[in-house]
Amino acid sequence: MPIPQDVLVRDRVEAIYRTESRRVFATLVRMIGDFDLAEEVMHEAFAAAVEKWTLEGIPKSPRAWLVSTGRFKAIDIIRRRTRFDASLESIARDETQTSSAITSDEDVEDDRLRLIFTCCHPSLAAPTQVALTLREVCGLATEAIASAFLSNVVTIQQRIVRGKAKIRDAKIPYQVPSASDLPERLESVLAVIYLVFNEGYYASSGATVTRADLSEEAIRLGRLVVELLPDSETLGLLALMLLQESRRDARANDHGDLILLEDQDRSRWNRLLITEGTEIVRRALASPQVGSYTLQAAIAAVHADARTAAETDWRQIVELYHLLAQAQPSPVVDLNRAVAIAMRDGPAAGLALVDELLARGELADYHLAHAARADLCRRLSRVEEARTSYLRALELARQEPERRFLQRRVNELAG
């Protein structure tokens, strides 16, 4: 029995929404100049697409249709509002007079980069820049952003609201900065891109280990930034993302269960991405100044160079983590360094460091810290301590494959 046309169209619209919605949103922001209105009319455009495309067929350029439909809906809304707010009259007039033609695909693609630099404007506080960009450019839920920040949802919501208000009130321009201003604006942009990648490579919650749409988008944005400013850190970030992305297909089995790095089938690693990432990190390391992204990429390259887990050069990885801790001090870097030391010197050495970190309190609610402690206790046959730490990690974890993995570990210890 053939599938009804309305079902086929609805499925296609949902697929386009997953891949195109934030691009459509970014272009509408440029055209309208209002985040909230752009979000509203974008959703209205997708809703209209289900009805119109069922009757008229899917257009040759769905993205252009959605942008055009969203723009005209915005004009209608602005016109209605002018009846109550005279200050909007000029906006309505400008929108009416603007050509309805959509810019080229290249311009539309670059709208997301423009939006990132707008959200990362120096007049915004750094945490606001990152939270706002993750929400508005990539459409991440506030819960996912809070997880990435090791923060709470209310704090993230407040940052986003303040950020949008600042952009509106200060009339922050929607553009990529000039070459002279670009370097000072780059740090926040790179932080945003990497957080987006991390959410795609290691989803903070949900039913799957990864979200390919987010990591692929982050890599695309990383390539655009490298074209703008190919310095050590932009190269380092791109290399890091490519090297980590190379392991995607090996990180979960056919049932969606998590596979740890040491247990992955390395024949499933993407050698093309490894080759490209390794070449780029070599370029980055040749720079007089090497930053945190380049050091992380170098660590990923050492893992990629090992044919088996047993052949991993943990001595070199520990040395790189020492440098990374100096370049970017953070409890998470300290945790990763402790795990690397455990692999080099034995689980007891690593456990002592992890316990020190947990005693400081900064990682008390970070499930991976408790999972690391549990694994080290397990390796030392400290079964009850391992079980307690696994249960704490399970309590904090939100990603379903990760929760299943932790529960299996608990069950193994009980058996």
What is the tens place of the pLDDT at every residue in 8-29?
Answer: 889 999 999 988 898 899 999 9
Buried b (16+ CB within 10 A) or exposed e, 274-313: bebbbebbeebbeeeebbbbbbbbbbbbbbbeeeeeeebe
CB 95 within 8 A of CB 76: no
Phi and psi (nearest 5°) for 121? -65, 140
Quote the pLDDT of residue 99.
40
Count of domains for the chain:
1
The answer as to whether 61 is a domain residue is yes
Could you tell me the end-to-end alpha-carbon distance of the chain, in angstroms, rounded to an integer? Answer: 50
Cα torsion 240, 214, 110, 186 to 10°: value is: -40
The Cα 337–Cα 317 span in angstroms is 8
> Which residues are 206's β-sheet partners?
399
**Amino acid present at 17:** Y
The Cα 401–Cα 411 span in angstroms is 15
The answer as to whether 94 is a domain residue is yes
- Residues in the chain predicted with pLDDT less than 50, given as ranges, are 87, 92, 95-106
Of 294, 288, 291, 244, the C-alpha closest to 269 is 244
The answer as to whether 325 is a domain residue is no
**Domain containing residue 63:** 5-102
Quote the pLDDT of residue 345.
97
pTM above 0.85, yes or no: no
The answer as to whether 370 is a domain residue is no
| Beta-carbon contacts of residue 48 (< 8 Å; ≥ 6 apart) | 69, 73
Maximum distance among all Cα pairs of the chain, rounded to whole angstroms: 74
The answer as to whether 112 is a domain residue is no
Quote the pLDDT of residue 308.
94
Helix axis angle for 331-345 and 347-360, nearest 10°, is: 160
The answer as to whether 334 is a domain residue is no
The answer as to whether 92 is a domain residue is yes
The answer as to whether 382 is a domain residue is no
The Cα 70–Cα 157 span in angstroms is 25
